[in-house]
Amino acid sequence: MKFETLAIHDGQAPDPYTGSVTVPVYQASTFERESLEHRGEFFYSRIGNPTRKALESTIALLENGRYGLAFASGVAATMAALQVVKPGEHIVASNDIYGGSYRIFEQLLRPWGVSTTYAASEATESYEACITPATKLIWIETPSNPLLQLSDVRALAALAKERGILLAVDNTFLSPYFQRPLELGADIVVHSTTKYLGGHSDVIGGAVVTSDSALHTTIKNYQAAAGAIPAPWDCWLILRGLKTLKIRMKEHEANAFHLAALLEQHPAVERVFYPGLPSHPQHELAKQQMSGYGGMVTFALKGGLPAVEQLVAKIKLFVLADSLGGVESLIASPAIMTLGALSKEERQRRKCTDNLIRLSVGLENAEDLEADLLNALTCGYDT
| CA neighbor of 138 nearest in space, from 106, 108, 105 | 105
Q: How far is CA 283 from CA 126, 152, 279, in A?
A: 19, 12, 7
Could you tell me if 305 and 340 are in contact, meaning their C-beta atoms sit under 8 angstroms apart?
A: no
Helix extents (H) in 24-174: 50-62, 74-81, 99-103, 110-112, 124-130, 153-163
- 358 three-class SS: strand
CA distance 361 to 293: 12
The residues carrying an active-site annotation are 46, 98, 170, 195
Residues in CB range of 306: below 8 A, 6 or more apart: none
CA distance 47 to 269: 51
Tell me the sheet residues that pair with 213: none
CA distance 383 to 381: 6
Residues in CB range of 10: below 8 A, 6 or more apart: 1, 57, 58, 61
